[in-house]
Structure formats: C-alpha cells, structure tokens
C-alpha cells in the first residue's frame, strides 16, 4: 500500500476514536491538565489514568510514555511531552520531531496497527501550527517508510483550520 494511503486527517475528539493507540499532548509531570490531556483524562477515567502515569515519575520533554487507556475505545495511550514554543531557537523542532518518532517507535514495538495523533504542542504550548504540521507529517511519513507495523495513522484535529494544514502538507509530501 502506498505510504500516503496510510495517513488520514480527521476533525473530531480523539477520545472517541477506535484505534489501537492515541497520542496525548502531555506535560513533563504527566500530571494531567487542560486541552486534549484534560479530555483524555476525563474520558479514560481521571483517577486510574493518573495512577498509571504516576508510576513514571514524569517524562522528559521530547519523550513518550505508554499507559493503558481504561474507559477509552483505544487500547492504549502514548503520552508525548511536546516543547513549549520559545521562538524556535531552543531546540523546539528537534524536540517535537522526537515526540513523533518515539511515538511511532512505541506503536511499532507494541504491534499497534493504528495510531491517532493529537496536534502536540499546538495548543497552550504555542507551537506555530504551520511549522508543527510540517514536522508531524515528515516524521510520520519517514517512520512509515522504515517500518510497516503501523497500517493507519490519523492526525486528529480539533478544527477545520488545523485539518486543512495537514491536508495541504500531505498533498505536498514526497515519499
């Protein structure tokens, strides 16, 4: 199957998706919060998910941790800690790239065939959307080319504006 056929853009609530694993935009304390993290905690079951996260004692920026997803339709959650945007000269692109690469690596290692990403760092962490989307698409396409375990990647957006950016970028993607 051509690689780009494995990638889909969806507008909706990531907590509702029936995929093997969803990717949360977490903080380095894995302490829960607002945005997509808050929605995931609420839908998964706040207390159970916090107990599962507490085992790790946090997670460095640019890295990921895997937990069960409790009450969600998905099997598991990958918590990715994206960078806070500080102008782009503080390693933010590499750190964001690392989130996508590590999430894809965990999915492949666990044998998850479908994965849905939230737009890591694109909310309160302030990453410029156009720049984040280029990184997300490039890194995911690169990972799909290297390992065939994952058969479906969904970029789950909370609005049409964000979804259009992904669609544009995918149109221009070269594999």
Residue 88 dihedral angles phi and psi, to the nearest 5°: 100, -5
Length of the chain, please?
Answer: 175
Site map for ligand AR6, 124-153, x if CB under 6 A?
xx----------------------------
Query: What CA–CA distance (Å, rounded) separates 67 from 41?
Result: 12
- Map residues 24-53 to x or -, x wherever contact with ligand AR6 holds by CB under 6 A: -xxx-----xxxxx-x--------------
- Is 17 one of the binding residues for ligand AR6 (CB under 6 A)? no
d(CA 39, CA 41): 6
Q: How far apart are CA 81 and CA 107, in angstroms?
A: 16
Task: Name the catalytic one among 13, 37, 63, 164.
Answer: 37
* Assigned token pair, 174: 């070269």
Task: For residue 82, state whether it binds ligand AR6 (rule: CB under 6 A).
Answer: yes
> Is residue 120 a contact residue for ligand AR6 (CB under 6 A)?
yes
The count of chain residues that interact with ligand AR6, using the rule CB under 6 A, is 24
Tokens 């995911």 found at: 140
C-beta of 132: minimal distance to ligand AR6 in Å?
A: 9
Q: Annotated catalytic sites, by residue?
A: 37
């Amino acid at each position: 199957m051509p690689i780009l056929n494995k990638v889909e853009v969806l507008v909706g609530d990531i907590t509702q998706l029936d995929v093997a694993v969803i990717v949360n935009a977490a903080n380095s304390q894995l302490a829960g919060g607002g945005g997509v993290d808050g929605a995931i905690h609420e839908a998964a079951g706040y207390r159970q998910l916090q107990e599962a996260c507490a085992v790790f004692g946090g997670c460095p920026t640019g890295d990921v941790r895997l937990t069960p997803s409790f009450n969600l339709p998905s099997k598991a959650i990958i918590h990715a800690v994206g960078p806070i945007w500080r102008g782009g000269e503080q390693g933010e692109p590499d750190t964001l790239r690392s989130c996508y690469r590590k999430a894809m690596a965990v999915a492949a290692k666990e044998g998850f065939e479908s994965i849905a990403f939230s737009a890591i760092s694109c909310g309160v962490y302030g990453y410029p959307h156009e720049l984040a989307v280029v990184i997300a698409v490039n890194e995911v396409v690169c990972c799909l080319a290297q390992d065939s375990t994952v058969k479906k990647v969904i970029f789950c957006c909370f609005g049409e504006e964000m979804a259009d950016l992904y669609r544009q970028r995918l149109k221009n993607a070269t594999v």
